[in-house]
Chain A
Amino acid sequence: QLQLQESGPGLVKPSETLSLTCDVSGDSISTGSHYWGWIRQPPGKGLEWIGSMHYSGTTYYNPSLKSRLSISLDTSKNQLSLKLSSVTAADTAVYYCARHAQSWGYYYMDVWGKGTTVTVSS
């Protein structure tokens, strides 16, 4: 059974870099057509898609975050990572990793991790 588990610091200072990892079990991130990515949800608000990556190296980023964002895959650890630089309070959110499945060229998130809460505060 596919499972995703996010981890990382729960508290990040403003202007620093937020770093999260997502451990994947039950599927290999280095095979198939799936992409692997991140979504976040600020407190009391809706979902925001952050970005996704395929093991071939193809990466899609939300343009609003692109200048501060890096997503990578570590196939040896079966793990994906997120780095978001120069964070502010607006980056406070629950961060989810999710597998992206494809249908007719469109992507949807078919399996999600439980999420990890990140607060940006000094």
Chain B
Amino acid sequence: SYVLTQPPSVSVAPGQTATITCGGNKIGREGVNWYQQKPGQAPVLVVYDDNDRPSGIPERFSGSNSDNTATLTINRVEAGDEADYFCQVWDGRSDLGVFGTGTRVSVL
């Protein structure tokens, strides 16, 4: 099955840029989605189809996807961005959803 690998943790100072990667074989061919999950809460979609944002998600959140790596970028990081972030693709060959391993973003 398709495997998506993320770094376990990323630390960033307030006002700086957080970059979270999601590695997968030829992931650039897939549409990648990103979810933010704060402690004790359900995940929230923050980016879909590589770089589209649902309504209500700040422009500080953006995504890119190429070759074997997709990236979620959070500009001007705020304390409220501290959360776990998961990438996700739809494996069209097997018709199933696949989540990445997750990255905990800590704001210093």
The chain A residues found within 8 Å of chain B, CB to CB, are: 37, 39, 46-49, 52, 60-63, 96, 100-101, 103-110, 112-115
Q: What are the residues of chain A within 8 A of B86 when measuring CB–CB?
A: 46-47
Q: What are the residues of chain A within 8 A of B90 when measuring CB–CB?
A: 105-108
Closest to A58 in B: B95
Closest to A60 in B: B95
User: Which residues of B in the span 48-70 have a Cβ within 8 Å of any Cβ on A?
Assistant: 48-49, 52, 54
Apart from A46-B100, A112-B42, 17 more pairs, CB < 8 Å: A46-B86, A47-B43, A47-B88, A47-B99, A48-B99, A49-B96, A49-B98, A60-B95, A61-B96, A96-B42, A101-B48, A103-B49, A107-B97, A108-B45, A108-B88, A109-B45, A110-B54
Whether B97 pairs with A49 at a CB distance below 8 angstroms is yes
- Which among A62, A63, A109 has the highest number of chain B CB atoms within 10 Å? A109
Evaluate whether A96 and B1 lie within 8 angstroms (CB atoms) in the complex, with A60-B95, A106-B31, A108-B90 already known: no
In the complex the two chains form, what is the Cα distance from A113 to B89 in whole Å? 20
Whether B96 pairs with A63 at a CB distance below 8 angstroms is yes
Q: Tell me the smallest distance from the CB of B65 to a CB of chain A, in Å.
A: 12
Q: What are the residues of chain B within 8 A of A62 when measuring CB–CB?
A: 96-97
The chain B residues found within 8 Å of chain A, CB to CB, are: 1, 30-31, 33, 35, 37, 41-45, 48-49, 52, 54, 86, 88-90, 92, 94-102
Q: Tell me the smallest distance from the CB of A4 to a CB of chain B, in Å.
A: 9
Whether A106 pairs with B89 at a CB distance below 8 angstroms is yes
- Contact pick for A104, options B31, B42, B45, CB 8 Å: B31
Q: What are the residues of chain A within 8 A of B45 when measuring CB–CB?
A: 108-110
Q: Tell me the smallest distance from the CB of B3 to a CB of chain A, in Å.
A: 12
Whether A104 pairs with B102 at a CB distance below 8 angstroms is no
14 residue pairs from A and B, CB less than 8 Å apart: A39-B97, A47-B35, A47-B37, A60-B95, A62-B97, A103-B49, A105-B92, A106-B30, A106-B31, A106-B89, A107-B97, A108-B48, A109-B88, A114-B42
